[in-house]
Homo-oligomer: A and B are copies of this chain.
Amino acid sequence: MSNTKEKILLTALHLFAQDGYEAVSMSKIAGKLSITKGALYKHYKNKRDIFDTIFERLCQLDIERSRKAGVPEKEFDGATKLFRNVSTKSVKAYMQSQFQYWTNDEFACNFRKILTLEQYRNLEATNLYQKVLGRGPVDFIEDLFREMMEEGTWRKGDPKQMAVEFYAPFYLLLSISDATSDNEEKEKIADIFTAHIDCFIEKYATSKLQNNEDIQI
C-alpha cells in the first residue's frame, strides 16, 4: 500500500492552482516530492493524466458537497417547481455554509483557482468556469427567488436582477479572501458576507429573520 499516488496528486494540485497547467513541469512536481520525474509515470500515464485525475476529483467533491450541503429542498418531479418550502432561514444557512466551504476548504479553493487560471484558454474552460462560479450560481439563485416569490416568502421583483445582487458579493469576497492568509482577516471578510445576507433578507423576505438565533448546518 502506497500513498505516493495521492501525494503526487496533492502536490500537483497546489502547483497547478498557483501557476497554471502549462507553467508546471513534471520535474517541479517530482522535485517537491524528492523523487525523480520518472517515478511519476509509475502512477500516472502522463502529465495530462495527473491534471485530469485532479480535475475529476474536484468535480466529484463539488457534486458530493452540493448534494450534501443542500440545494435547499430541490426536487426533480418534472413539475414546474424546483424547490419546495424554501425558508429564508435555510437560504441564509445554505449561503453561509457555501461561503465557508469555498473559502476554507483546501480542495474547493484550489478548484476555483484552477478554473480561474484556465478559463480563457478555450470555450470548454470558459463554460465550465461560468457554470461553477459565474452564470451558474446566478441562474440557480434566480430560480430559487422565482419559486420563493410564487410561494410568497419573497417580495416580488426581477429575479435575475436580484440574483446578481445577491450572488455578486459572494463572488467578490471569494477573490478578496484568496489574497490574504491572515485568518483573522478572513473572518472579517466572512462577517461582511453575513452582513450582506442579513441586509438582503431584511430587504426582501416577507417575514423577518430572528437575528438572535445562530444557524448551523
Chain A 166-187: CB-based contact to B (< 8 A → 1; otherwise 0): 0111011101101100000000
Chain A residues numbered 10-30 whose CB sits less than 8 Å from any CB in chain B = 17-23
Q: How many residues of chain A have a CB within 8 Å of chain B?
A: 40
Chain A residues numbered 146-160 whose CB sits less than 8 Å from any CB in chain B = 158, 160
A129 at the interface (CB under 8 A from B): yes
Residues of B with C-beta under 8 A to A90: none
A161 at the interface (CB under 8 A from B): yes
Q: In the complex the two chains form, is A192's CB within 8 Å of B116's CB?
A: no
Q: In the complex the two chains form, is B19's CB within 8 Å of A196's CB?
A: no
Q: In the complex the two chains form, is B172's CB within 8 Å of A164's CB?
A: yes
Q: Which residue of B lies closest to A169 (CB)?
A: B168
A134 at the interface (CB under 8 A from B): yes
Q: Which of B113, B120, B126 contacts A17 (CB 8 A)?
A: B120
Residues of B with C-beta under 8 A to A49: none
Chain A residues numbered 188-206 whose CB sits less than 8 Å from any CB in chain B = 192, 195-196, 199
With the chains together, A178 CA to B129 CA distance in Å? Answer: 11
Chain A residues numbered 56-91 whose CB sits less than 8 Å from any CB in chain B = none
A6 at the interface (CB under 8 A from B): no
- Using CB atoms and an 8 Å cutoff, list the residues of chain A in contact with chain B: 17-23, 113, 116-117, 119-121, 126-127, 129-130, 133-135, 138, 158, 160-161, 164-165, 167-169, 171-173, 175-176, 178-179, 192, 195-196, 199
